[in-house]
Amino acid sequence: MLLKFTKMHGLGNDFVVVDAVSRKVFFNKQQIEKLSDRNWGIGFDQLLVVEPPTLPDMDFRYRIYNSDGSEVEHCGNGARCFAKFVLDRGLTDKRIINVETKRGVIQLRVMDDGLVTVDMGSPSFEPKDLPFTTDSSSSLYSINAGDNKYFITPVSVGNPHAVIKVDALLDEEVATVGALIECHERFPRNVNVGFMQVLNSAEINLRVYERGVGETQACGTGACAAVVAGIKHGWLSPKVTVHLRGGDLHIEWQGQGEPVLMTGPAAKVFEGQIYL
């Protein structure tokens, strides 16, 4: 099968986006792994598949696959790329787009300056929503990773995150501790691991070791998770600029029960086709 695709990125978090509205397209795990290989395939962090909606009042449905072939619930950077893709391809002319995902419904708003704001829904700190196994409820949990103990804030923003506040962002710690916690037995479905350095109440540095991918240049849901964790603990204000390796995201959260709003760019790199 000859597959047409668009390569995109959100702050360096890169995607292959496929139109499954105009033509039905199905992928298996082996095909996704082949396509994601940066030497033998196209190369990407995630594959985004744009599909017709299955629910009333929705504009589209989209599915998200990691480079290892696993399907995930949510991706903030991918959502922004999704919005730019459907507008650029003429699949819609709406600037406010309602989309089905595996985790539920999200709303995308395309601004006049090209930035995209994503309504990420309300976050949850309930262990069962990640899931995260624990005998008691707490705001911070200790977890062993290798020979060390880390204090994490588990939070779901449509997908599971473990946020760790650190004094400095160290390459070795992100790589080794991130990998250990991602697959820790207390996270039955694995977890994304965020390392957050608080600069001031409105600004953080962040690196994220993503579940099924490894560290990426940027993680939109990771930025949301870090900010809501920081607000919960009183470290951050309701509006925060998040500095990621690929660039900046702007996150807003007004507190419990309110949605998280993420604003940032999306860019098309190139279009192409490849035989599966």
State the binding site: 13, 46, 66, 76-77, 159, 192, 210-211, 220-221
H or E stretch including 221? helix 220-232
Place of tokens 């990407």: 44
The pair of structure tokens assigned to 5 is: 């695709």
- Indicate the annotated binding residues for substrate: 13, 46, 66, 76-77, 159, 192, 210-211, 220-221
Give the integer Cα–Cα distance in Å for 197 and 168. 6
Q: What is the Cα–Cα distance from 60 to 120, expressed in whole angstroms?
A: 16
Q: Distance between CA atoms of 68 and 271, rounded to whole angstroms? A: 22
Q: Say if residue 176 is exposed, middle or buried (CB neighbours under 10 Å; 0-12, 13-18, 19+).
A: middle
| Active-site annotation holds for 75 | yes
Active site residue 183: no
The rounded distance, in Å, linking the Cα atoms of 164 and 153 is: 7
Nearest to 204 by CA among 158, 146, 156, 248: 248
DSSP strand pairing (160-165 vs 192-200): parallel
What residues form DSSP beta bridges with 12?
none
Question: H or E element: which one contains 76?
Answer: helix 76-88
Total residue count of the chain as it appears in this document? 276
* Catalytic positions, written as ranges: 75, 219
